[in-house]
Chain A
Amino acid sequence: MKSVTKSKMIRMPLIGDVMMSGARTVIGIVMGLVAGGILIALSGVNPFAAYASMLRGAFGSLPAFSNVLVRASPLLLGGIGVAMGIKAGVWNTGIEGYMYLGAIGAAVVAIQPLSIPPILHVLLSFVVGMLFAAVWGLIPGYLRAYKGVNEVTSTIMLNYVAIYLTSWLVSSPQPLAEEGAFYPMSKLFQESAQLPILMRGTSLHPGAFIGIAICLLFYFILNYTPFGFRTRMLGSNINAARYSGVDTKKQVVFIMVIGAILGGLSGAIEVTGLKHRVYMEFVTGTGYQSVAVALLAGGNPLGVILTALFFAALKAGGATMSIETGVGASMTDVIIALCVIFVIAVGVDGRRRMKKKTAKAETAVTTEGKEDEHVV
């Protein structure tokens, strides 16, 4: 067995590996779209017409595409936040909560008439928003790292807390609230605290471009800095990370807080760029969608850019489809979930098989048991 092993040292070249995973993703997405088409057909609408309408809604015109970019903004930032977690081996499913906190933080600054240049007003809103979210993210991060509380449960619980917190803050008589509004909402943001519109007649704000820039930044951080090295090591093998002197607990907190800051920024951009107010449920669904984005990208920041744009196109097109064909707008969420399910169902098995092959080929040494420390 040994001699065979040596001659087969390299089982799959690197490029092949990447192509395989790329191919699996594409196959999964196609299967998801087909399954979505079947569902559309079942609801009595011609799926081809529906998809055509979706395509038009996303890419049919410049304003349509600007809509895609607007919708991509929270997905890019939320997606990269979750992706950093995936790289470090934690599931940061609290993006919605962070977005609420970010929006609240931004609102605290943005409703004040400050006599400072707009750029500063906006930046200050961002900073306070990110700060609020960071504190929020510290809770599940600390609980996961030092108390062993599963971050999925804690972040999702905290999402609900964040929603009700927001609801309280924007109801009168709280200082943020708009008096006498028909629905609880914050005061309108000052004009100086609103992001510029980049294209006349659309709501295109710079959020998507900020998001893309941040994805590139994190690509660099992950691959070219000791911090990124540490993060990847933590995600690949926590025992080896500890053995190499990494303070794995601190690193987990860092990563959770970074995800929270990115989520906070995403929320701040959403309210300063698009909504210009904070109200309950302004981010519904973005949490799960961010997870889907990061997953489909395999945690790769460059992949996040692609998948975020893809899902944004689905969402923007989905809205058009909904209006033109009567298929509910929720169909987009269904399609996104189906895509991810198909991708993982096609993908994981192949990866495991490769892993097994090598494990088998090596030695009689077994690595029984998972990591020592359970997080529950």
Chain B
Amino acid sequence: MSFDLIIDWLQATLRWSAPLLLVSIGEVFAERSGIINMGIEGIMLSGALCGIAICYLTKSVTLAVLVTLLLGAVLGMGVAYLTVSRRTNQVVTGLMINMLALGATDLLFGLLSGSRHVRVATFPTLFPKSFHSIPVVGKILFQQPVSTWVAFILPFLAALVLYRTTWGLNVRSVGDNPQAAATAGLSVIKIKYQTVILSGIFAALGGCVLTLGEVGYFASGGMTGGRGFIVMAAVVVGGWDPLRTAAACIIFGAADAAQLRFQAVGSVIPYQFLQMLPYVITVISLTIMVKRSRVPKTWGAAYDPEDV
């Protein structure tokens, strides 16, 4: 394995981790408040298309991101309405949101353009060109689009919010004992809405980063490739902690990056086995870590404000 390949792999690891990291932040908060937003796969997909579409139509990356965030909030609101207000089963809701998004993005992408391969401008890099040629770090760090930097800084911010702020305390209490939170005078429903909407926003942003930060095009038929589910696994592996979840995301991102790099250079291992890598690693790490994690007490359970 050559040195260049390793550099290349590290650079790709950061880039491919970025969407996962972003999605995971929202999901950690949602699950900490007791709601599993299984629809993040679908919301990611919607965000991916939305980013490309708006960017294609308006030529503005900023506008694309803003609209994507809005879409994420709306979809998150939908999931929140179903799971929090209507108290639907969270697995069912998530799966159906995914199915809906899969069909809808296909349809809309078909409508969007005759040409099936719209390519648009991607996120700019944060550092000037002169930095890019610095050996090693130039390629690994400074060539990264701005989204990668954001994605790597946000988990720290998320940890700060979760453990050091009043709102973070509220979220943690709502997931562990909603009745206690309610008797303490908190609005459990409101907090759950907030976290689930947050998870929608971040999922859409993650999807948008997948297209605008990385490939620059959309492919119909589920281009997120189960990344939403990988994030859900990362949250469990990371024990519902923003930083440990981020670490898990980076491992999965590295696997993702590895399969693409090694595929490109060709190897003795058939490329299909490399493609399996992220999924296999996800299942294995889940198996190892699952018993060590402390689950939010009402994880996945419906909350009925009348149950006192």
Contact = CB atoms under 8 A, between A and B. Distances in A.
Nearest to B229: A156
A9 B98 CA distance: 42
A345 B302 CA distance: 13
Interface string B222-233: 000110011011
Given A164-B272, A344-B92, A337 B103 contact: yes
Contact of B89 (A150, A160, A161, A344): A344
Interface residues of B, number: 53
A330 interface: yes
Given A168-B272, A168-B273, A334 B107 contact: yes
B106 A328 contact: yes
Contacts, number: 149
Interface string A61-99: 000000000000000000000000000000101000000
Interface stretch (B64-72, B196-204, B208-216, B283-291): B283-291
A43 B91 CA distance: 30
Contacts of A154: 283, 286
A153 interface: yes
Given A167-B272, A344-B93, A147 B229 contact: no
B104 A344 contact: no
Given A160-B276, A284-B221, A331-B107, A341 B291 contact: no
Interface stretch (A125-133, A194-202, A256-264, A348-356): A348-356
Interface in B62-82: 82
Identify the interface centre among B290, B302, B306: most chain A CB within 10 Å of its CB. B290
B279 A161 contact: yes
B272 to A, nearest CB: 4
Interface stretch (A104-112, A247-255, A288-296): A288-296
Contacts of A376: 236, 290, 293, 295, 299
Nearest to A376: B236
A271 to B, nearest CB: 19
B219 interface: no
Interface string B273-308: 101100110110011001101010111011010110
Contacts of B306: 356
Contact of A333 (B103, B272, B283): B103
A113 interface: no
A95 B239 CA distance: 28
Contact of B38 (A152, A284, A330, A344): A152
B233 A330 contact: no
B99 interface: yes
A167 B263 CA distance: 15
Interface string A136-177: 000000010001111011101111110011011001000000
A277 B297 CA distance: 48
B22 interface: no
A370 interface: yes
A336 B102 CA distance: 12
A338 interface: yes
B88 A348 contact: yes
B111 interface: yes
Contact of B88 (A161, A292, A336, A344): A344
A368 to B, nearest CB: 8
B304 A352 contact: yes
Given A143-B283, A143-B287, A160-B276, A288 B98 contact: yes
Contacts of B230: 157
Given A149-B287, A153-B233, A356-B307, A292 B96 contact: yes
Contact of B82 (A152, A284, A330, A344): A344
A268 interface: no
A370 to B, nearest CB: 5
A328 B105 CA distance: 11
B117 interface: no
Contacts of A152: 38, 91, 95, 229
Contacts of B97: 337, 341
A215 interface: no
A300 interface: no
B100 interface: yes
B110 A328 contact: yes
Contacts of B225: 160
Identify the interface centre among B276, B293, B306: most chain A CB within 10 Å of its CB. B276
B95 A291 contact: yes
B135 interface: no
Nearest to B98: A288
A189 B38 CA distance: 39
A345 B107 contact: no
A320 B289 CA distance: 48
A164 B273 contact: yes
B270 interface: yes
9 contacts: A153-B233, A161-B280, A165-B272, A165-B276, A168-B272, A330-B102, A334-B103, A341-B82, A344-B89
For the complex of A and B, the 3 pairs showing the least CB-CB separation, nearest first, are A333-B103, A168-B272, A330-B106
Interface of A: 39, 43, 91, 93, 143, 147-150, 152-154, 156-161, 164-165, 167-168, 171, 284-285, 288-289, 291-292, 295, 327-328, 330-334, 336-338, 340-341, 344-345, 348-349, 352, 356, 369-370, 374, 376
Given A330-B106, A344-B89, 15 more contacts: A143-B283, A152-B229, A153-B283, A156-B226, A168-B270, A288-B99, A292-B96, A295-B96, A333-B102, A337-B97, A338-B100, A344-B92, A345-B86, A352-B304, A370-B301
